[in-house]
Structure 1
Amino acid sequence: MSAEDLPDELWIAKPLQAIKGRGAVSNLPGRFETQRIDAVDDGWTPFEDDTHITPRLTTSVTPELAKTILSRNQSPDLPFSVSLNPYRGCEHGCVYCFARPTHAYLGLSPGLDFETRLYTKTNAPELLRRELAHPHYQPSPIALGINTDAYQPVERGLRITRQCLEVLHECRHPVGIITKSALIERDLDLLKPMADANLVAAAVTITTLDHSISRTLEPRAASPTRRLQLVETLAKAGIPVLVSVAPVIPFITEQELENLMRAAANAGASAAGYTVLRLPWEVNPLFQEWLQTHFPERAQRVMNRIRDMRGGKDYDANFATRMRGEGLWADMIRQRFAKALKRYGLNKSGSFLHMDCSQFRRPLSIPAKTNHHGTGQLDIFG
């Protein structure tokens, strides 16, 4: 009898299993794939149990030469219009990351592939220098590390973010950095003088104060305690620090909102912001797999509350509501946040919105344009 002849009831889906150090629990296919492969129990091998050692997933890093490095947007709900991302994919493994679906454009999974198969834009500093030297360039604060964390673990050795900051420092160009990593402390020698000139601000994302939740929700990011120490370090260095309470997840992290904001204020943060959980594209099934794996008893309640804040849907991409949600529960979170903002003095957001662009000066040296082979000779159609 062939496998095709077996009745459907004999094919039992392999149960999802958490992988230590990784956020996603599967390699869910991207939305552009034409085939889907599911692991099943065919009766020949037992399901993995508590005594089974899951093969360790290693991280691969692929260098690539980008064509451009500054991305521009006109989204009315974003406080920036220009962003720079040195990396594609992110080893932090945050299961809720809105950037996960971008790996589908590479023919890879937004699941485990996103956090184990990384791409580095090795020519980012050269491209940045060239863009800033363009005679028609108009300075506007650059958001660094918006799509994926610019200080994720591979940055420690590659130093691409560091080199981009050196260009911005040289050109006296304003930059806003968002991160979950304490590695940003390495670059205080650049950031402190920039802060003195009102050219930099930092946002540290803290999702939860619960270490056990953080270990599965964002497994390779700095611990909540370490992030609070980072806030204190940056604040003492004179760098304006905003704490991003994101995402707020009903019945998982929602109840910590006020305690988290109090801890951030005590650490020296001067402002705070928040977003509710967003589930675009493949993030939705990936997050629901995570819920069923780590919080099966709460999974239905969490999704019901999310739908209450999304007009009955799992997600609504409407610009007016995608960050904060809508309805009764979204209004309650909004009110709680506003009261905590005032109570803990986290409403000093001026430094983040009014960095000084008037000091900008074009780079003194401009690298020669290279083709996709990395040589100095231009392509015929370049």
Structure 2
Amino acid sequence: MKTNAGRFFEDFTLGETIRHATPRTLTHGDVALYGALYGPRFAVQSSEPFAQAIGYKHAPVDDLLVFHTVFGKSVPDVSLNAVANLGYAEGRFLAPVFAGDTLWAISEVIGLKESSNRETGVVYVRTTGFNQHGERVLSYCRWVMVRKRDKASPAPEAHVPDLAGVVDPAEIARHAPKLTIDSYDFDLSGSADRFSDYEIGERIDHVDAMTVEEAEHQIATRLYQNTARVHFDAMGAAATRFGKRLIYGGHVISLARALSYNGLANAFTIAAINAGRHVAPLFSGDTVSAWSSVVDRADLRGRDDIGALRLRLVAVKNRPSADFADRDADGKYDEGVILDLDYWALMPK
């Protein structure tokens, strides 16, 4: 059989390594299209002179464009037959990526667990993205619910990996070893707020909102070469429990990150993703807004000019973010919460 129907749960083996097809060279055109889709305004990624003034050789590609591109490489081999992408952990952005760099990826299967209904199973993978020089630029874990080919087929012995709840900030100092923040221009960045201006427990409602249209989320997902059927195939999607096309969860992450500029303009790069959960689905016509809370602050070893903020970014739909409460004592979310993402961002002191 020459066509690829994608892997089902039974096709995965604990410990196997999958080398994903189709390396992807990111161009200035890809960067411009990403900006047109989400409207991010962070100065480091928007301005070549600004980025060079603080030590980058060029304006780096947006961290999440890198993430989505690497993620897209893994879809045909991991989640083509997915029911849902469930979560993320141990994400590390290891080196900046620039227009002209080529990304490719491998994934290791680190966990398998059949669902109680025996119709699906959860597959855990650690995916690593490399550039054309073989240097690691990104590593993250994700777990995804995948259909079984045959409900009666035997399942492998269950193994759920032990994943860290938070990336040690000592590991993220190496993300920006050559930056010189002395030349960081707070007028051009759009905010005077620095690392010391944010308090643990502080909540920032990002005010702005974006309505998602059908065409734009499909353009975005095609940009990442993400082939998951639930995002494109209206006939196939009609047979799912949602009854219509589902917007790629990474689209929500990028929307929320872009919205977070209003309040976190100087959180100029994502250094690590500690955890992430797609709480509920998003569909065309829904309007996304977001809020962030400051979970922790960390000094970086050997740096007195940059700190790391641990931020919890929560995206919601169809109501202003200020209308939403945090989770209740039982961990239950308000109806309309669609994303809960825990990450470290670097910020000038």
Q: TM-score, normalised by structure 2?
A: 0.28
Larger radius of gyration: 1
Q: TM-score, normalised by structure 1?
A: 0.26
Question: If each structure's helix is expressed as a fraction of its own residues, which one has the higher value?
Answer: 1
Question: If each structure's strand is expressed as a fraction of its own residues, which one has the higher value?
Answer: 2
